Structure 1
Amino acid sequence: MNQTAISQDSINAAVWAACDTFRGLVDPSTYKDYVLPMLFLKYVSDVWQDHCDAYQAQYGDAAQDLIDALLKTERFVLPPSASFSALHAARYEPGNGERIDRALHAIEDANIAKLRDVFQNIGFNANKLGDEQQKNDILRQLLEDFARPELDLRPSRIGELDLIGNAYEYLISHFASSSGRTAGEFYTPPEVSSLMARLMDPQEGDEICDPACGSGSLLLKCGRLIRDRAGSRRYALFGQEAIGNTWALAKMNLFMHGEDNHRIEWGDTLRNPKLLADDNRLRHFDVVVANPPFSLEKWGYEIAETDRFGRFRRGVPPRTKGDYAFILHMVETMKPGTGRMAVVVPHGILFRGAAEARIRRKLVEENLLDAVIGLPEKLFFGTGIPAVVLVFRKNKADEAVLFIDASRDVEPGKNQNRLRDSDLQRVLDTYAARKPVDRYASLATTAEIAANEFNLNIPRYVDVLRVPEEIDMLDVRRERDELRAEWLTIEERMGGYLRELGYE
């Protein structure tokens, strides 16, 4: 096969170019339903073929039984008829959609413990792509797009670099940026994920959970931190996601990043939490992170008072705003000794009254709230509103709350802003130091917060107003005299023009 330069950018560009096959034919919000599964299929096919070739070179044709036995010990199994090469070879024949669907389901059946139900809502043979002839042509082109030399994804070519997992995340981020309000259902901006993961400081042996995991980006960031620091995969990832297609994205995303030690459940976390312990109670975790839907209207208010897990003993959140429902669920899933959590929420939860005010008071009085970090506006896909990260800990070192106003530290963009590395580091350094910083951070005691009636609005604690520069009255007088002289000169000039025109 013709080799091309290997780089993350070249792979990213090649997979994004595959989207051109669908432009003008299907809604952009559905591109991911075809391009992401095809990237997954190409990846597993190339990895499998690479391993087959390596065994063949080592043991020869005469040792096929040994090779077959070795292949059964691989991380996954690929049935011969389900390979990308088999689909590509038959691309000019009718039935591309049906063949691709059969291949994905065959891969699922062969790896049922890891991929159960992942492809049940993915349909290449559906009518969204037009009549049979048009659908066959589109899918033929898609197969040819992924057969390009740039998308030769064999490990022997790309080495140990996580180019494929990164390309998958790259695609998800691009789909999120073009999907409007629905983007929040499956993607958290990478710099926000990185900030939350680093605030949580995950360690070897930790159990990490995201109860609203979307495509799994927050979980992946936490796992990557441990691997980079400890060189170990001795940790476990847990998650739950309510939307079926997004849950499938998370499963494929974790698989592509080599994260096998995970458990991702499909279902509504608030109405039907599925991450339970052996005694059927909520399972506890060392780290809990989430970017749940902002102010979810229909979150399960009608059954909250009878919640069998006791999650709402501090109060039942408002009927049409589920922010505190997610917060209370997460608080209940922190391990007693090591539990810590970070959650992204809208600013309104800091100061809204009634039930939310009562819940806020309980959380502060129990000394669970560790930090309130204000983020800039226009960071999140689908909404321009600013958000905050709340940090909670089960075992705090003091009885104060750190308030950080990071709302002005940002790289502005046309449609979306971005946190720079320096912005992230400033937050992390301030959080670690846990000391006041002029017009940036403040450490408030429980008594101070009580004096503010448990209102957590950041400007109540961090003076964000700029101190006006001292005015030099002599400079002001000098500037006024200069302006007066300039005005007199203009008046004299205008009078001359008028006299020339015959006006007195």
Structure 2
Amino acid sequence: MLFDDPSPAAAKGDRLISADAINAAVWRACDTFRGVIDPTQYKDYILTFLFLKYLSDLWKDRENFYLDKYDETPDNSPRTQRALEQFERFRLPEECRYDYLYEQRNASNIGEMVDMALDHLEEANRLKLDGVFGDISFNSEKQLGPTRDRNRRVKNLIEDFKTIDLTPSHLESQDVIGDVYEFLIDRFASNAGKKAGEFYTPSSVSLLLARLMDPQPGSRISDPTCGSGSLLIKVGQQVGSRNFALYGQEINRSTFALARMNMFLHGFDDAVIRWGDTLNNPLLLENDRLMKFDIVVANPPFSLDKWGADVAATDRFARFHRGVPPKSKGDLAFISHMIETTYEGSGRVGVIVPHGVLFRGSSEGLIRRKLIEENLLEAVIGLPANLFFGTGIPTAILLFNRARTAAANTDVLFVDASQSYDDGRNQSTLKKKHIDQIVRLVATFRDEPQGTAGVVADKFAYRATLEEIRENDYNLNIPRYVDTFEEEEPIDIAATQQQIARLEGELAEAKKRMNQYLSELGF
């Protein structure tokens, strides 16, 4: 819940609006931009306007609450206005409100007015929204066309949102708005393919990784490639209380803005999200050193080319002391950064990687060997192919744990969940039963530091010793450990020959009848 006070409308038994209803209405609003600009761009307009409409409806809802509480009217409400200024999460000047823009929707400079509203909204909430709307303009001729076309599109968008009621007291749940935002990001990613998929980790994968990390109250949680913030939010929601802190960094400017808005819509106003290149310019710092975290998660860009290998050897934070990954594959560079930003002796890392990270040689092989010999690697979980938007390649989750000691456990858990999926129209999905099964296996592995090595679950999970991994030359390719071979049923040659003879007889009889029919017809 964002607020403890019930709003008046909620107490009147109004029919509550579901997330599905809002999803459908907002998705219809996207028609204003379909075919005009690329989905990777119009998502910024739709999501930004959804954010503005939500703030306006929330502000109006809170204003009605205070008016009712203090028995005031809109024209005479000094106590209400004072309460709004003192107790609410944000400020909303009148010219920034949706109703004001709706009344001005026919203005010849409506695009400029929306831009001004966003500027004033940032200014009024600088600590929380500074820089969020810097790259979005509703008055851009390049993006939205000449003045006449631009005005028509902005007007249509404003009118589209008129029927979308985002008032918290009218919603089934206070989580609805955050869920709608996630829905839209999901839909934009799936419709735009790889280009948009870079900023979104599918919900089922985010949930699996969040549950595997098992964050505890008081945790500092970070995502150095946070995208729109969905994974970071999922991990925070696993804590079960508000006693945690979220941190993230994102290199893409517009995606950084989405993350800031996403945090706000989920009620995580204090989340710290930075804009910049994590590998070349980490911005989550304390006392000019890398900030440390209890949990670090990420879905970095797969096999990133030109990630900064040429300067990594002289990195001022010494993040790449185990070795410098190849310049065309930055996967282990991200992993190195993540491990170095966790608390020594207790920090944990969960990262999504392409399978090449498990077995590629050269410098990557040497880094992988050092990570294993340091007893940092806890588990390797193979995921199904076709889970991610824009790529069908199979991926894996690597879990690292800096709390592991040689005396307690040097084994590594391998899980082959490559067949644990349900087919969707565009991509596969991990269902709850699959997630539950994987989480149970990892939890049991952690609870049994002296467990017996070998098969944990037939054709699904294997507990490998450090010696076994050494014998495999530190290759983590999952089939080396999890045997998924299925023996084919033996073929009864005699029965098969009899069946073939029977079918050939039936075919000859069918041909005979066909020839009779053709003869009767004169052919």
Range of TM-score over shorter length? over 0.9
Residue 183 of structure 1 and its aligned partner are, at CA, apart by 2.3
Query: In structure 2, what is the Cα distance between the partners aligned to 1:146 and 1:439?
Result: 51
Q: CA RMSD in A?
A: 2.1
Does the C-alpha gap of structure 1 residues 124 and 492 become closer, same or farther in structure 2, counting only changes over 3 Å? closer
Matched with 2:165 is 152
Alignment pair present for 1:218 and 2:231: yes
* Identical residues among aligned pairs (%): 50
| Runs of at least 4 residues off by over 6 Å | 492-501
Deviation by residue 1:88-135 (Cα, 9 ceiling, x = unmatched): 001011111100010011111000000111111011111111111111
Matched with 1:65 is 78
SS of the residue 2:352 aligns to? strand
Does the C-alpha gap of structure 1 residues 495 and 349 become closer, same or farther in structure 2, counting only changes over 3 Å? same
Matched with 2:196 is 183
Matched with 2:370 is 362
Residue 297 of structure 1 and its aligned partner are, at CA, apart by 0.2
Matched with 2:242 is 233
Deviation by residue 1:313-338 (Cα, 9 ceiling, x = unmatched): 00000011100000000011111233
Q: Where do residues 201-280 of structure 1 align in structure 2 (5 Å cutoff)?
A: 201-227=214-240, 232-278=241-287, 280=288
Q: Is the 8 A contact 2:378 2:413 kept in 1?
A: yes
Does the C-alpha gap of structure 1 residues 490 and 295 become closer, same or farther in structure 2, counting only changes over 3 Å? closer
Alignment pair present for 1:484 and 2:504: no
Does the C-alpha gap of structure 1 residues 464 and 105 become closer, same or farther in structure 2, counting only changes over 3 Å? same
Query: In structure 1, what is the Cα distance between the partners aligned to 2:57 and 2:243?
Result: 27
Matched with 1:137 is 152
Matched with 1:288 is 296
Query: In structure 2, what is the Cα distance between the partners aligned to 1:249 and 1:144?
Result: 23
Matched with 1:106 is 120
Does the C-alpha gap of structure 1 residues 343 and 484 become closer, same or farther in structure 2, counting only changes over 3 Å? same
Matched with 1:55 is 66
Matched with 2:410 is 399
Matched with 2:177 is 164
Q: How many residues align?
A: 490
Query: In structure 2, what is the Cα distance between the partners aligned to 1:241 and 1:100?
Result: 26
Q: Where do residues 447-486 of structure 1 align in structure 2 (5 Å cutoff)?
A: 447-469=467-489, 471=490, 475-484=492-501, 486=503
Residue 421 of structure 1 and its aligned partner are, at CA, apart by 1.1
Instruction: Pick which of 51-60 and 84-93 moved more.
Output: 51-60
Residue 63 of structure 1 and its aligned partner are, at CA, apart by 6.5
Matched with 1:35 is 46
Query: In structure 2, what is the Cα distance between the partners aligned to 1:496 and 1:28?
Result: 60
Matched with 1:431 is 442
Residue 185 of structure 1 and its aligned partner are, at CA, apart by 2.4
Query: In structure 2, what is the Cα distance between the partners aligned to 1:385 and 1:207?
Result: 32
Residue 242 of structure 1 and its aligned partner are, at CA, apart by 0.4
Residue 415 of structure 1 and its aligned partner are, at CA, apart by 2.4
**Structure 2 counterpart of 1:116, which letter?**
D
Does the C-alpha gap of structure 1 residues 482 and 92 become closer, same or farther in structure 2, counting only changes over 3 Å? closer
Residue 169 of structure 1 and its aligned partner are, at CA, apart by 0.7
Query: In structure 2, what is the Cα distance between the partners aligned to 1:375 and 1:25?
Result: 37
Alignment pair present for 1:443 and 2:463: yes
Query: In structure 2, what is the Cα distance between the partners aligned to 1:123 and 1:168?
Result: 20
**Structure 2 counterpart of 1:308, which letter?**
R
Alignment pair present for 1:339 and 2:354: no
SS of the residue 2:239 aligns to? helix
Q: What 5-or-longer segments of structure 2 have no aligned partner?
A: 1-8, 446-454
Q: Is the 8 A contact 1:184 1:381 kept in 2?
A: yes
Does the C-alpha gap of structure 1 residues 43 and 495 become closer, same or farther in structure 2, counting only changes over 3 Å? closer
**Structure 1 counterpart of 2:154, which letter?**
L
Residue 491 of structure 1 and its aligned partner are, at CA, apart by 5.8
Query: In structure 1, what is the Cα distance between the partners aligned to 2:31 and 2:510?
Result: 64
